[in-house]
Structure 1
Amino acid sequence: MKNASAQFDLFDEAPGYREVPRPAPRKPRQQHAGRPDVWDDEGAAHRLEETGRYRVLRKLVPRPIVPRSESPFPRLAVLVDTETTGLQHAKDEVIEIGAIAFTYDDDGTVGDVVGVFSGLRQPSDPIPPEITRLTGITDDMVAGQQIDMAVLDVLIEPADLVIAHNAAFDRPFCEKLTPSFIPKAWACSVSEIRWADLGFEGNKLGYLVGQSGFFHEGHRATDDCHALLEVLARPAGEGRAVPFAELLRSSARSRVRIFAENSPFDMKDQLKARGYRWSDGSDGRPKAWWVEVDEETYEDELRYLRTDIYRWDDAEPLTMRLTAQDRFRATG
């Protein structure tokens, strides 16, 4: 039985949704006699930063939610994050899903948040202690909880793009929850953005949030979605590029997955050094080293395999051409 108090759903003016009011402006503290200056926390932060000896992190405040009809941006994306009982989608279960719908335009400008979803779910077996330690989600929190799939579908179905921070993990779990995720174009904010080129030291969400100047309460699904949205929307690097714009361009490209089947065993280190990953065949993919490349570099990669790995000019390794609708599926 669903506990309505633990789940909130906001999306335009559909029945059952409620609009969250915009936060009221903070009132300045009153000036007291003998105290000529009113405390200005943001001004103090700026002064510290201007010395060059301090870096101040601001607490991340979620964006206000506006009705879809009031946002002038034509496209709709949904950020999703799942918390699960383990890493294997075939046997583990979702215990929490968070999603944030936001508008954008074709140039990659982030518009408005127009919907938020958060849902808990009781799994078949008790939550492993290590998962509770990582997520803070306990058996008591999920007892009797079910995710309202009808409400989640309302959020997902109109989306032009679904984004996850490690889509190869989240997509299979999401598709098990509801078929609304299956036909969607997916983008991965871990693998499809060159974070190092934008000045970041890593692609874990904690690094990205901290280096963007924020801190937040991590590891709960909706909180992580709010944090990722701010990182994607905030210009970064020397060129002040917007990460979301790069993600949009990258996800629109067709890519080619190449399986170096029957490659010589003594070439495994060379393949690994070039970026190939091993598939043991358990997820439906061929048992082989594989790599994913842009279509324009496919001929170069094929030439490399024929020359350096197979040493046979007519070698034809298995290839799969992938679009955003195909990528990050459990079986390729």
Structure 2
Amino acid sequence: MSSNSSQFDMFETQTEHPTPASPVVASPAKRKPKQDSEEETLARQLEQTGRFRILRKLVPRNIINRADSQFDKLAVLIDTETTGLDHATDQVIEVGAVAFTYSDDGALGDVVGVFSGLQQPSIQIPAEITRITGITNEMVQGQSLDLEALKNMVEPADLIIAHNARFDRPFCEKLSPVFVTKAWACSVAEIQWAAFGFEGSKLGYLVGQAGLFHNGHRATDDCHALLEVLARPAGGANTVPFSELLKSSRKSRIRIYAENSPFDLKDHLKKRGYRWSDGSDARPKAWWIEVDESDYESELHYLKTEIYRWKDAEPLSVKLTAVERYKK
């Protein structure tokens, strides 16, 4: 790990312990408690008028020794910044990760490790990527990721979480084989954010509507931000989004390929949520969709009656668990 990158050992002992499963963001250590109290009082007074909405600065949680956490399960939030969107040709320029404990019933525990690192690609970082991420060619000059440290964090994890796992997983698997056999969950695709009262699933929307702001588009900062959004009760039932994500990750889904479907019915498939695969990623060249196992029979019925119009049609179907989902 280069000098410009920071690494916290997930088994490092810390002197301060946050309250387990608490979604409350800790106060900055440099501020005086009295100043914090006065500012919070002013913020609440403004909010109580009904004419203001206050965003509070997101402060990362303290890191504790994993052995001191009351929960035994381990999840790792991960985010990558890259030179572009193509898994085949583009390269990772930054990785951020936050490891935290959780319980089987979806209670979120403690942060036990943080990883942050930059890497110099073999090509110049496009200007548009620098505009979005703030990462320049000068920042990554001579930098390389400490892949051994990243492996040590990920290896004991029960679940890997990304905010768009379909994008991050292939890039992570190119970095290290430790990601290949892990169960993955996607906090975009597997949480019904609208049902929780959010107006969109982009991380910036989620953070803002959770009453926070942060330094967006840097990998580790985004991981800290996603953790807080996942931890804060939301919706009319005050459900913790992480618990919903955990339930979803444990369900099997089935990917159905509507091979050889009539061309003039492509708009029907697209409207129903099917996506097009051009066959370049070793998948069939066809429209496809992923559904819960409970919805599989009804989706087959739709294809047989509305698309193929042949009762004996048997479209290719592949069962996916969290270990297979979001692979390239």
Provide the secondary structure at the position in 2 that maps to 1:321: strand
Give the C-alpha shift of residue 52 in structure 1.
1.1
Where has structure 1 moved over 3 Å in runs of 4 or more?
18-26
The CA distance in 2 between the partners of 1:209 and 1:29, in whole Å, is 26
Mapping for residues 1-332 of structure 1, pairs under 5 Å: 2-13=1-12, 19=14, 24=29, 26-28=31-33, 40-330=38-328
The CA distance in 1 between the partners of 2:307 and 2:113, in whole Å, is 50
The CA distance in 1 between the partners of 2:4 and 2:261, in whole Å, is 56
Provide the secondary structure at the position in 2 that maps to 1:117: strand
The CA distance in 1 between the partners of 2:31 and 2:243, in whole Å, is 32
Give the C-alpha shift of residue 26 in structure 1.
3.9
Provide the secondary structure at the position in 1 that maps to 2:9: strand
Give the C-alpha shift of residue 39 in structure 1.
7.2
The CA distance in 1 between the partners of 2:227 and 2:139, in whole Å, is 26
Structure 1 contact 168–328 (Cα < 8 Å) conserved: yes
Match of 1:33 in 2: none
Structure 1 contact 20–64 (Cα < 8 Å) conserved: no
The CA distance in 2 between the partners of 1:8 and 1:141, in whole Å, is 17
| Cα deviations by residue, 1:38-84 (Å, 9 ceiling, x for unpaired) | 97110111111111111111000100000101101110000000000
Give the C-alpha shift of residue 109 in structure 1.
1.0
TM-score by length of 2: 0.94
Match of 1:34 in 2: none
How many aligned positions are there? 318
| Cα deviations by residue, 1:218-237 (Å, 9 ceiling, x for unpaired) | 00000000000000000001
Q: Give the counterpart letter for 2:206 in structure 1.
A: L
Structure 1 contact 78–101 (Cα < 8 Å) conserved: yes
Give the C-alpha shift of residue 25 in structure 1.
7.5
The CA distance in 2 between the partners of 1:12 and 1:77, in whole Å, is 14
The CA distance in 2 between the partners of 1:29 and 1:231, in whole Å, is 27
The CA distance in 2 between the partners of 1:298 and 1:62, in whole Å, is 41
The CA distance in 1 between the partners of 2:234 and 2:29, in whole Å, is 29
The CA distance in 2 between the partners of 1:28 and 1:85, in whole Å, is 42
The CA distance in 1 between the partners of 2:263 and 2:29, in whole Å, is 64
The CA distance in 2 between the partners of 1:117 and 1:124, in whole Å, is 23
Provide the secondary structure at the position in 2 that maps to 1:132: helix
Provide the secondary structure at the position in 1 that maps to 2:198: coil
The CA distance in 1 between the partners of 2:60 and 2:131, in whole Å, is 25
| Cα deviations by residue, 1:259-312 (Å, 9 ceiling, x for unpaired) | 000000111111111111111111111111100000011000001100000000
Structure 1 contact 186–251 (Cα < 8 Å) conserved: yes
The CA distance in 2 between the partners of 1:302 and 1:21, in whole Å, is 54
Give the C-alpha shift of residue 19 in structure 1.
4.6
The CA distance in 2 between the partners of 1:152 and 1:285, in whole Å, is 30
The CA distance in 1 between the partners of 2:109 and 2:277, in whole Å, is 39
The CA distance in 1 between the partners of 2:310 and 2:15, in whole Å, is 63
Distance change >3 Å, CA 20–CA 280, structure 1 → 2 = farther
Distance change >3 Å, CA 246–CA 90, structure 1 → 2 = same
Q: What are the ranges of 5 or more consecutive residues in structure 1 without an aligned counterpart?
A: 31-37
Q: What are the ranges of 5 or more consecutive residues in structure 2 without an aligned counterpart?
A: 18-27
The CA distance in 2 between the partners of 1:313 and 1:253, in whole Å, is 28
The share of aligned pairs that are identical, in percent, is 66
Q: Give the counterpart letter for 2:189 in structure 1.
A: S
| Cα deviations by residue, 1:149-192 (Å, 9 ceiling, x for unpaired) | 11111100000000000000000000000111111000000000
Match of 2:23 in 1: none
Distance change >3 Å, CA 252–CA 58, structure 1 → 2 = same
Provide the secondary structure at the position in 2 that maps to 1:111: strand
The CA distance in 1 between the partners of 2:194 and 2:141, in whole Å, is 42
Structure 1 contact 9–151 (Cα < 8 Å) conserved: no
The CA distance in 2 between the partners of 1:28 and 1:21, in whole Å, is 16
The CA distance in 2 between the partners of 1:79 and 1:176, in whole Å, is 17
